[in-house]
C-alpha cells in the first residue's frame, strides 16, 4: 500500500465519520426543534364555573331545608285568626291575606299545601326569647329592633299604617288631628305596635286601655268603655265594614320613618330565613305578592291625622 493510497483512505474515513456526526447532529437539532415548536401538553383544565356551582349544594332546595319536622313546614299563628288576614278562623283554608302569603311562600320553598302544618301560638308569646316549636310565625307581627334582639324576621311582606276606629257617636268620631285625640280614652291589644302608637305617638292624657286580644278591645268600644280602638289599617277596614255597625275609621297615622312592616318571625339564627327571603323577593318581583294584597286588603281612602 502506498502512502498516497493510505492517505486517501484516511481522508475518506474521516469524511465518512464527519458525515455521520453531521447527520446525528442534524437529527438531534431537528428533534429538539420539533419538541420546542410542538404545543405543550395542556395542564388539567380548571373546573368551569357552572361545574363549580353544581358541586355546591343548594341550601334552599327542598331536600336540604332544615325544618321542625322533615318534609313539613310548621307555621304558627294566634286564635282567633281574624279577617282579613284569615277567613273563618281557619288558617289552613288558604283564604285571607296571611294564609295566602303562607301558602305562596310554602310553594316557593317546594312544599305542597298538604305539607303545611298550622300551630296555635299566642301573639305576645311568639316573639319571646327561646326555642320555637314552629318554623315561622305569621300574625301581623311588626318588625321592631326590640323584638329582633331575641328573634329573627324575614324581609317585610306588608307595609302598614295604624288607624283609629270609633263608633259614629264617639266624642272623637270627627277628629282630624292628633291634638283632638289627646283627651280620648283609647285602647289596643297588649304587645302590639298599635298600643305603641297610642303611648308614643298620640300620648293621650287619659290612661290607655290594654286588652288581651282585639275581640276584647272591640267589645269595650261597642260598650262605650273606650272612645276609640287603634288597629292596623286593614283590620280597621274590616271592623267597620263587616263587624261593628255604626262604626267608622276616624283616621290613619302617617307612616313613621322607614315604615312599619309585617315580617315572618323565626327562632334566632334559623337558617331558613335566607331561603324565605329569596322566595319573598321572587313573589314581589313577579307581582304575585301585590296580587294577594289587592285581593284581601282592600281600602285606601281613610283620612290622615294631621299634627295640629
Sketch the domain layout of the chain as residue ranges: 62-159+259-296, 162-252
- Under a CB-based contact definition with an 8 Å cutoff, are residues 226 and 214 in contact? no
pLDDT for the residue numbered 176: 95
- In the predicted structure, residue 6 carries a pLDDT above the cut 50: no
- Under a CB-based contact definition with an 8 Å cutoff, are residues 180 and 172 in contact? yes
pLDDT for the residue numbered 298: 67
**CA–CA gap between residue 114 and residue 189 (Å, rounded):** 32
* DSSP letter string, 231-287: EEHHHHHHIIIIISTTEEEEEEPPPPTT-EEE--EEETT-THHHHHHHHHHHHHHHT
CATH superfamily of 62-159+259-296: Periplasmic binding protein-like II (3.40.190.10)
- In the predicted structure, residue 39 carries a pLDDT above the cut 80: no
- Of the candidates 258, 227, 250, the one whose C-alpha atom is nearest the C-alpha of residue 306 is 250
Q: How confident is the model at residue 141 (pLDDT cuts 50, 70, 90)?
A: very high
Class of domain 162-252: alpha beta
The least confident of 41-45, 57-61, 116-120, 198-202 is 41-45
Q: Report the sign of the C-alpha dihedral through residues 281, 283, 287, 291, in that order.
A: negative
pLDDT for the residue numbered 16: 41
Residue 288: all three cell numbers together: 304575585
When pLDDT is averaged across residues 230-259 and rounded to a whole number, the result is: 88
Amino acid at each position: 500500500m502506498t502512502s498516497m493510497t493510505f492517505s486517501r483512505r484516511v481522508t475518506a474515513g474521516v469524511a465518512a465519520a464527519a458525515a455521520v456526526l453531521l447527520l446525528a447532529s442534524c437529527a438531534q437539532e431537528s428533534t429538539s426543534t420539533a419538541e420546542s415548536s410542538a404545543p405543550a401538553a395542556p395542564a388539567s383544565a380548571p373546573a368551569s364555573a357552572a361545574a363549580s356551582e353544581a358541586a355546591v349544594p343548594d341550601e334552599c332546595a327542598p331536600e336540604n331545608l332544615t325544618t321542625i319536622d322533615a318534609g313539613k313546614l310548621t307555621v304558627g299563628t294566634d286564635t282567633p285568626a281574624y279577617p282579613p288576614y284569615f277567613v273563618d278562623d281557619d288558617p289552613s283554608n288558604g283564604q285571607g291575606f296571611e294564609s295566602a302569603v303562607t301558602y305562596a311562600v310554602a310553594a316557593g320553598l317546594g312544599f305542597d299545601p298538604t305539607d303545611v302544618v298550622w300551630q296555635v301560638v299566642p301573639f305576645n308569646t311568639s316573639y319571646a326569647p327561646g326555642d320555637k316549636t314552629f318554623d315561622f310565625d305569621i300574625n301581623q307581627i311588626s318588625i321592631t329592633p326590640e323584638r329582633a334582639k331575641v328573634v329573627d324576621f324575614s324581609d317585610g311582606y306588608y307595609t302598614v299604617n295604624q288607624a283609629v276606629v270609633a263608633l259614629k257617636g264617639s266624642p272623637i268620631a270627627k277628629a282630624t288631628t292628633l291634638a283632638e285625640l289627646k283627651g280620648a280614652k283609647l285602647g289596643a291589644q297588649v304587645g302590639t305596635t298599635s298600643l305603641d302608637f297610642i303611648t308614643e305617638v298620640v300620648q293621650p292624657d287619659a290612661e290607655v286601655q290594654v286588652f288581651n286580644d282585639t275581640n276584647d278591645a272591640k267589645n269595650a268600644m261597642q260598650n262605650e268603655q273606650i272612645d276609640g280602638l287603634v288597629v292596623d289599617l286593614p283590620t280597621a277596614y274590616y271592623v267597620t265594614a263587616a263587624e261593628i255597625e255604626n262604626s267608622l275609621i276616624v283616621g290613619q297615622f302617617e307612616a313613621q320613618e322607614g315604615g312599619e312592616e309585617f315580617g315572618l318571625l323565626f327562632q334566632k339564627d334559623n337558617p331558613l330565613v335566607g331561603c324565605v327571603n329569596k322566595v319573598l323577593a321572587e313573589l314581589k318581583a313577579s307581582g304575585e305578592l301585590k296580587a294577594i294584597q289587592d285581593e284581601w286588603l282592600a281600602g285606601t281612602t281613610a283620612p290622615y291625622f294631621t299634627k295640629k
